[in-house]
Structure 1
Amino acid sequence: MKRHVLLLGGCCIDEILECDHLPQSGEDILIKSKQVQLGGSCLNVATVLKRCGKEPVIYSALGNSVYSQYKNELQTEGFDCRCIYELQGQTGTCTILIDSTKERTFLTYNGIEGHFNEDNIPLEVIEETDWIYLSGIFLTYKDESQKIVPYLMRMIHQGKHVLFDLGSLVDQIEINLLRECVECSSIIKGNEHEIEILIERLKLSHITDLLSPELRIIIKTCGAQGSITYLDKNILSIPSIDVEPIDTTGSGDSFVGAFISSIMDNLSTKESLEIASRFGALATTHPGGRLKLKEK
């Protein structure tokens, strides 16, 4: 059985800053802690997939100033780096501000990680892959993002399945590109705000208007209220797991990684959502967006 998942989302440099409160315009504040590491949604998802025994393949360009360091780190952790490649330019950054409520605010700079050239995906990766994870942020790179839909269409014709994670910048995705990626997907996942934006942008009366034989599952995560999942003939409501959160960064990514893994194991949608909920909650008990590959 194929255990590979191709992740389209790009890796960026995460700068995680903890503070008591967000600064007002013109205000100076002190930062309580700072971390700088390779990150991005697809790496967070890949880490959970690997923890669950799957083989994630991350597709990303990295700028030449950080390529060697971070590729070596990924290889040391045992990640498949066949689709990680060096490109002239600056790798994007995500500055994550975490205040005393443990909520996070993102400042994103798009760099060369949004470059897409399917020639950088070896044929053997395609042959080994059943699922493709698509991060919404990967669709915010203008001309580069337009190259993704034709590739996805060919992959679907080869029997691959696509999970489209809308992401916090869904309002920045060009509307026709957004519509085409929705139509390519077997599963869509978004939080309450992201789903609302999708409904508004596509002029839907309800998110279930999108359900079809191709798009079978729509997952709406609702933070501490759990998740609501829309299927063809019923709705599944899964409660959240009660934990004491430290940092909510990456909880949605951990949810997605665990859900894909469970679906690949042929578990039911309900079982997969329950496992995903546990991983999403676990992520909030760790600082930063990535879970550890192994818990001590």
Structure 2
Amino acid sequence: MAGKIAVVGSNMVDLITYVNRMPGPGETLEAPDFSLGCGGKGANQAVAAARLGSDVMMVTRVGDDIFADNTIRNFEEVGIDARHVVRVPDTSSGVAPIFVEKSGENSILIVKGANNALTPAEVDKAAEDLKQCSLIVMQLEVPLETIYHVIAFGAEHGIPTLLNPAPAQPDLDVSRITGVTYLVPNESELELLTGMKVSDAPSAEAAARSLMAKGIKTVIVTLGSKGALLVTEDDCKRIEPVAVQPMDTTGAGDAFIGSFAHYFTKESDLDLALKMAARYAADSITRPGTQKSYASIEAFEAFCSKLDG
């Protein structure tokens, strides 16, 4: 089944300011440090798959600013096909100003910017290339109508689709995502989708099955340090967590999905893809940052060799 992965989704530029304390109204303070990084759930997932060696195509929109240059350059440097990364005139790129206090507490603003311009009509411009892909991956940082459109496109053309319903959106219409092949929420996203409390594996299974009763065939629930859960019509399997000493859990969910996409399209083995995704996500949290914490295939294989003793 090995083939190209398409990520139809978001990109963001993380603008991280480290502060001793947040300023009050009208107050100006000097901040001790600043860093700029590439982010956005779609871009993160694409980079994780590409770092492992997958052929990845990104379908997204950037602004006509200097942030766009950085985003496109980042895609190209990791080997992502950026032909469908298009600049939107008179629009800012998606940005996330992040303010981190000494305690580690952070305050984040999200400006979707050009991500809002990724409409169904814009996705259709990549249709012929999408038809050549083995898996289409989506998230919820672009318009919901685009998500519904891509799921329908995948169903029409026999292309497996994966939706990570993050960040959680109460307006997501479950009846319009029943054609998705894999739905991959975390616990809080599953709660919002179902209105059911999710606190452990049994409650996660019950909530997942309530979605399956509405037509969704396969639900993969990520449980953080507790691993993950694969729920199908006939089965429920626990994907065991990998014990590591965490340094920074930012982006672990995206690492899980990107690596799952890589191994699923490479091996056509769902159980193996989930096992490797749990390992890749665990490895990512042993380093700081998001995309920069995602291991190359060589580094990841070394990590797995240590696990296997």
The answer on 1:134 being equivalent to 2:138 is yes
The answer on 1:93 being equivalent to 2:99 is no
Tell me the C-alpha RMSD between the 2 structures.
3.1
Distance 1:33 1:215, change over 3 A: farther
Secondary structure in 2 aligned to 1:228? strand
Secondary structure in 1 aligned to 2:37? strand
Question: In structure 1, what is the equivalent of residue 61 of structure 2?
Answer: 61
| One-letter amino acid matched to 1:38 | C
Question: In structure 2, what is the equivalent of residue 248 of structure 1?
Answer: 249
Tell me the CA shift for residue 122 of structure 1: 3.2
| Distance of 2:245 and 2:85 partners within structure 1 | 36
State how 1:279-294 maps to structure 2 within 5 Å: 279-290=280-291, 291-292=293-294, 294=296
Distance 1:234 1:24, change over 3 A: farther
| One-letter amino acid matched to 2:176 | E
* Long gaps (5+) in structure 1: 140-144
State how 1:6-25 maps to structure 2 within 5 Å: 6-17=6-17
| Distance of 1:245 and 1:32 partners within structure 2 | 25
Q: State whether residues 140 and 147 of structure 2, in contact with CA within 8 Å, keep that contact through their aligned partners in structure 1.
A: no
Secondary structure in 2 aligned to 1:137? coil
Q: State whether residues 4 and 54 of structure 2, in contact with CA within 8 Å, keep that contact through their aligned partners in structure 1.
A: yes
Q: State whether residues 130 and 159 of structure 1, in contact with CA within 8 Å, keep that contact through their aligned partners in structure 2.
A: no
Structure 2 counterpart of 1:180, from 157, 173, 176: 176
| One-letter amino acid matched to 2:126 | P
Q: State whether residues 102 and 245 of structure 1, in contact with CA within 8 Å, keep that contact through their aligned partners in structure 2.
A: no
| Distance of 2:93 and 2:266 partners within structure 1 | 35
Sequence identity percentage: 19
| Distance of 1:207 and 1:25 partners within structure 2 | 44
| One-letter amino acid matched to 1:239 | E
Distance 1:293 1:79, change over 3 A: farther
| One-letter amino acid matched to 2:9 | G
Question: In structure 2, what is the equivalent of residue 125 of structure 1?
Answer: 129
| Distance of 1:30 and 1:248 partners within structure 2 | 28
The answer on 1:169 being equivalent to 2:165 is no
Q: Normalising by structure 2, what TM-score?
A: 0.79
Distance 1:101 1:232, change over 3 A: farther
The range that moved more, 188-197 or 25-34, is: 25-34
| Distance of 2:141 and 2:231 partners within structure 1 | 23
| Distance of 2:61 and 2:135 partners within structure 1 | 20
Distance 1:175 1:271, change over 3 A: closer
Tell me the CA shift for residue 123 of structure 1: 4.4
* Long gaps (5+) in structure 2: 197-205, 300-309
| Distance of 2:79 and 2:243 partners within structure 1 | 32
1:18-40 C-alpha deviation (Å, 9 max, x unpaired): 568x8698799986643212211
Q: State whether residues 118 and 142 of structure 2, in contact with CA within 8 Å, keep that contact through their aligned partners in structure 1.
A: no
Question: In structure 2, what is the equivalent of residue 109 of structure 1?
Answer: 111
Question: In structure 2, what is the equivalent of residue 142 of structure 1?
Answer: none
Tell me the CA shift for residue 99 of structure 1: 6.5
Q: State whether residues 16 and 288 of structure 1, in contact with CA within 8 Å, keep that contact through their aligned partners in structure 2.
A: no
| Distance of 1:134 and 1:152 partners within structure 2 | 9
1:94-119 C-alpha deviation (Å, 9 max, x unpaired): 23456678786643222112212445
Distance 1:150 1:32, change over 3 A: same
State how 1:199-214 maps to structure 2 within 5 Å: 199-200=194-195, 206-211=207-212
Tell me the CA shift for residue 45 of structure 1: 0.9
Question: In structure 2, what is the equivalent of residue 196 of structure 1?
Answer: 191
Tell me the CA shift for residue 152 of structure 1: 2.9
Q: State whether residues 194 and 211 of structure 2, in contact with CA within 8 Å, keep that contact through their aligned partners in structure 1.
A: no
Distance 1:210 1:86, change over 3 A: same
| One-letter amino acid matched to 1:109 | V
| Distance of 1:94 and 1:119 partners within structure 2 | 23
Distance 1:151 1:280, change over 3 A: closer
Tell me the CA shift for residue 5 of structure 1: 1.4
| One-letter amino acid matched to 1:235 | C
